[in-house]
Amino acid sequence: MVSKICNEIFDKSIYDYHLIDNVDAAIRNPYIDNGFDHLLYSKNWVDTVQWHLEDIVRNPTIDSVEGLLLKRRIDASNQVRTDMVEYIDSYFLQQYKNIHPKAHALVNTESPAWAIDRLSILALKIYHMKVEVTRQDASEDHVTSCSKKLEVLLEQQLDLSKSIDELLNDIEKGDKYMKVYKQMKMYNDPGLNPVLYQQQNKNL
């Protein structure tokens, strides 16, 4: 099952990151380059680093200059995450290129890779909620509340994993087909973000 592979690799990436716990640490991907496992590990590593950047930038005492630099780093990370999702979809498109959809085949609301993206984020939520459940300095109410949230997250992980596997199975059988749209991140594009292109016009 693809979801089992994803969850195992995401857990390994998150575990490996927290051995170092530094947003500037270099990734040490243990999987063969250009392989599906390598791509999944890299994707989750980017997600994990960004998770911690989002924590840091919300520090109310952060220096404004440092905060702006972090925000721009997060924007750049979001673009990388989007690109990596598209790489994963490219992998599936290649896998299923010889599948001929049936006449009644349907398109899903999201591509397999965007569902896997949600699974990656869910693995991070589960990891960090488990941390909250075991915090020694937390109140009993906090632990109880987080324990209930963890139960929901784990159930959600099971449901999403099952849905991903069913989607891929339906694509393999020709009952569904992939239709992938390139994400058009307008805020990063100097030709589409009015703040950027108006600034460019002023400098002409």
Among 167, 129, 148, 133, smallest CA distance to 6 is for 167
Residue 119 contacts residue 163 (beta carbons within 8 Å)? no
203 located within any domain: no
Q: Which residues on neighbouring strands pair with residue 176, listed in sequence order?
A: 106
Query: Which positions of the chain have pLDDT values less than 70?
Result: 183-193, 195-204
Q: Establish if 198 belongs to a structural domain.
A: no
Q: In b/e form, how buried is each residue of 20-53, taking b as 16+ CB within 10 angstroms?
A: eeebeeeeebeeeeeebbebbbbbbbbbbbbbbb
Which two three-digit tokens encode residue 92?
Answer: 């599936």
In this prediction, residue 186 carries a pLDDT of 59
Q: State the residue range of the domain holding 179.
A: 2-192
Q: Which of 114, 50, 14 is nearest to 58 (CA)?
A: 50
Q: Which two tokens stand for residue 34?
A: 């250009």
pLDDT of residue 180: 80
Domain-embedded: residue 200: no
Residue 204, pLDDT score: 62
- 124 inside domain: yes
Q: What is the pLDDT of residue 179?
A: 85
Q: At what angle do helices 140-173 and 2-20 cross, to 10 degrees?
A: 140
* Domain-located, residue 181: yes
Q: Which two tokens stand for residue 184?
A: 């058009």
Quick one: three-class SS letters along 40-64? HHHHHHHHHHHHHHHHHHCCCCCCH
Q: Work out how many domains the chain is built from and give that number.
A: 1
In a domain, 157, yes or no: yes
- Residue 204, in any domain of the structure: no
At residue 159, the pLDDT reads 98
In a domain, residue 197? The reply is no
